[in-house]
Structure 1
Amino acid sequence: MDEELHERIRDVVASVPKGTVATYGDVAKIAGASTPRLVGRVLAEDGHDLPWHRVLRADGTPAPHLAREQLARLRAEGVLAEGRRVDLRRYRWRAP
């Protein structure tokens, strides 16, 4: 992955507002990435300083290994899950 794409992905994730969520696919589309997996890769390798918890899977669920922390962080921002799923119709960020 080139450095420009890497930075675009980071910029998109950083711009997801508090109280909203985006999917990996949303971020990939906005950043111009070929696949949502690249977003996951950037967050795993270089996302510790980003609001990574605002990025969910396409079905509104968090990554299984981060679910407890991710849902707690979202809840603290007013994003409520039903079970382990966030209602994307209600909380999904619509990029300008």
Structure 2
Amino acid sequence: MTAPESGFRDRVLALVARIPAGRVMTYGQLALLAGQPGAARQAGFVLNSLMNGSALPWQRVINAQGRVSTHKLGFGALQEGLLRAEGVTFDDSGRCDLARLQWWPEDSPHGPPPTLLDQA
């Protein structure tokens, strides 16, 4: 995989810095908001560079199933622990409630996907 272009990287980092404590974003959502829909893996690549002492809250980005994806990298327990310390809860299968905890910036042209109740 090639390294993400610097503009995309800068936008990803700026978004991650804004995620409030106790809330999460998904990799795909982060890529969408950074201007590259479908670039979830590239967003993850950017975040991987943050795990070595960055002050940015990298732990607040999870996968689209509401799970931590960093177990295979050796950071899963750390990421879950950091999120739990912020009040994020996980069920027995390791998922958090995205409907409740996913954060969307107020100034974003995109918003949360519609729920079944919104479509009724």
Task: Specify if TM > 0.5.
Answer: yes
**Alignment of structure 1 residues 75-94 onto 2, 5 Å:** 75-83=84-92, 84-94=94-104
Consecutive unaligned residues in structure 2, runs of 5 or more: 107-120
Among candidates 61, 65, 86, match of residue 55 of structure 1: 61
Quick one: which amino acid aligns to residue 92 of structure 1?
Answer: Q
Instruction: Tell me how far 1:52 sits from its aligned partner.
Output: 0.8
Among candidates 46, 51, 56, match of residue 42 of structure 1: 46
The secondary structure found in structure 2 opposite 1:81 is: coil
Q: Give me the CA root mean square deviation.
A: 1.2
Q: Could you tell me the percent identity over the aligned residues?
A: 37
Q: For residues 41-64 of structure 1, what are the alpha-carbon distances to aligned partners after superposition, in whole Å with 9 as ceiling and x for unaligned? A: 00112x231211100000001012
Q: Which has the higher helix share?
A: 1
RCO comparison, higher one (Cα < 8 Å, 6+):
1
Larger radius of gyration: 2
State the TM-score, normalizing by the size of structure 1: 0.91
Q: Which has the higher strand share?
A: 1
Equivalence for 1:25: 28
Consecutive unaligned residues in structure 1, runs of 5 or more: none
State the TM-score, normalizing by the size of structure 2: 0.74
